[in-house]
Amino acid sequence: MQFKILVVGKLRNEFIKAGVNEYLKRLLPFINIKIEFLPSFSELPEKMALLKEEEIILKNIKNNEFIIILDKNGEKLSSEEFSNKLFKLTTLNPQITFVIGGIYGVSENIKKSSKFLLSLSPMTFTHEFALLILLEQIYRAFKINRNEPYHY
Amino acid sequence: MQFKILVVGKLRNEFIKAGVNEYLKRLLPFINIKIEFLPSFSELPEKMALLKEEEIILKNIKNNEFIIILDKNGEKLSSEEFSNKLFKLTTLNPQITFVIGGIYGVSENIKKSSKFLLSLSPMTFTHEFALLILLEQIYRAFKINRNEPYHY
């Protein structure tokens, strides 16, 4: 089982970097998650930015990877439902790749390349918050799956 | 316009403290938010914990305050909808008080004392994450209301 997270854009906030490192450390006994930060083209008009970001995302995805896109309009799951779904997926797909888009999200093509659009909330989060929240929810998913105290 | 946030439980994670301070600082030009940390009784059985926490929450709420409870089963709003609703409320209610419960949430009595249960997500967040996310969404709400760049 391998998880990879592709993030369009950099981490600018020190507290987010610290939080990401904290949850990567907590996750280490369960899984070693690779995070790749891809260039953002948010200074360009939306359509052009999405197209350029699409090209780079596709270059960083291999055929054997199961793609989960974080999208505000994706599936809305409780933490328990997310845990169940995630661990069902890992039985069939050894490599899970999450994609967090830039300020405009991801292109329709990228969405179509995925069988699972996941929504963390109907609210909009920065890509930095989305990464931190996703890591905490993956950690929570492991604790739920292992029936270890953390999730109430 | 005054906002207060009552939080059952302490902040343990340094990165959360840093993030909370960052967004309180960013919010200062718009509003000075007061955060009060109330004792948590999570070591007690759920019913007893909720009852003790209820007593302390009620002691920290005045009659003229409009109470917004963060609850996983509350209203699910986009950031734009949250901004609109928040600023409508502030025209009628100068004092808005948010309540973030402990690991068991808040008691039914506390929920009944509020006219607005707000859900940040169908997923479960720690009270620390809930506070950080709430502050970011309040900041985003101001930027949306003022039509200033931040929210895409």
**pLDDT tens digits for range B110-127:** 999 898 999 999 999 999
State the average pLDDT over residues A84-106: 95
pLDDT at residue B115, as a whole number: 86
| Residue of A26, A123, A139 best to disrupt the B interface, most CBs of B under 10 A | A123
Query: Which is nearest to A152 in space by CA: B9, B57, B15, B99?
Result: B9
Residue B152 placed within a domain:
no
From the list B22, B120, B152, the residue facing A15 with the nearest CB is B22
Asked whether residue B151 carries a pLDDT value surpassing 90, the answer given is no
- Find the domain containing B41 and state its range: 2-92+101-145
Return the axis-axis angle of helices A79-92 and A127-145, rounded to nearest 10°: 80
Q: Taking CB atoms and an 8 Å limit, are B136 and A121 in contact across chains?
A: no
Pairwise CA distance, residues B50 & B108, whole Å: 9
Tokens of B44: 């007690």
| Residue of A24, A72, A78, A124 best to disrupt the B interface, most CBs of B under 10 A | A124
pLDDT at residue B152, as a whole number: 78
Q: Say yes or no: A97 contacts chain B, CB-CB below 8 A.
A: no
Residue B77 placed within a domain:
yes
ipTM exceeding the 0.85 mark: yes
Residue B151 placed within a domain:
no
Look at B32 and A70; give whichever has higher pLDDT. Answer: A70
**CB A99, CB A6: distance < 8 Å:** yes
Query: Which is nearest to A117 in space by CA: A85, A151, A149?
Result: A85
Asked whether residue A113 carries a pLDDT value surpassing 90, the answer given is no
Q: Taking CB atoms and an 8 Å limit, are A123 and B15 in contact across chains?
A: no
Three-class DSSP category at A59? helix
From the list A72, A104, A123, the residue facing B120 with the nearest CB is A123
State the average pLDDT over residues B27-54: 96
Task: Give CA A91 to chain center in angstroms.
Answer: 19
State the average pLDDT over residues A11-31: 98
- Report the residue of chain B nearest A126, measured CA to CA: B151
Query: What share of chain A has pLDDT > 70, as a percent?
Result: 100
From the list B123, B129, B136, the residue facing A82 with the nearest CB is B123
pLDDT at residue A152, as a whole number: 78
Q: Say yes or no: A27 contacts chain B, CB-CB below 8 A.
A: no
Domain count, chain B: 1
pTM as predicted: 0.96
Q: Which residues of A touch B104 (CB under 8 A)?
A: 152
Give the bridge partners for A119, in sequence order.
A76
Query: What share of chain B has pLDDT > 90, as a percent?
Result: 91
Residue B8 placed within a domain:
yes
Please compute, for residue B46, the number of CA atoms within 13 A of its CA located in the half-sphere on the CB side: 7
pLDDT at residue B113, as a whole number: 87
Q: Which CA distances in Å does B22 have to A14, A123, B28, B56?
A: 10, 20, 10, 28
Is B132 marked as a binding-site residue? no
Pairwise CA distance, residues A48 & A54, whole Å: 10
Residue A150 placed within a domain:
no
CATH code of the domain in which A129 resides? 3.40.1280.10
Query: Which is nearest to B61 in space by CA: B10, B118, B119, B5?
Result: B5
pLDDT at residue A34, as a whole number: 97
Q: Which residues of A touch B122 (CB under 8 A)?
A: 76-78
pLDDT at residue A74, as a whole number: 95
Residue A90 placed within a domain:
yes
Pairwise CA distance, residues B111 & B54, whole Å: 10
Q: Taking CB atoms and an 8 Å limit, are A122 and B22 in contact across chains?
A: no
A84 pLDDT tier (thresholds 50, 70, 90): very high
Q: Say yes or no: A60 contacts chain B, CB-CB below 8 A.
A: no
Positions at the binding site of A for S-adenosyl-L-methionine: 70, 101, 120-125
pLDDT at residue B11, as a whole number: 97
Q: Is A116 exposed, middle or buried (0-12, 13-18, 19+ CB in 10 A)?
A: middle
CA pseudo-torsion sign A76, A81, A87, A92: negative
Q: Say yes or no: B43 contacts chain A, CB-CB below 8 A.
A: no
State the average pLDDT over residues B50-73: 95
Residues ≥6 apart with Cβ < 8 Å to B148: none
Summarize pLDDT for B78-116 with one digit per residue, the tens: 999 999 999 999 999 999 999 999 999 999 999 998 989
Residue A104 placed within a domain:
yes
Q: Say yes or no: A73 contacts chain B, CB-CB below 8 A.
A: no
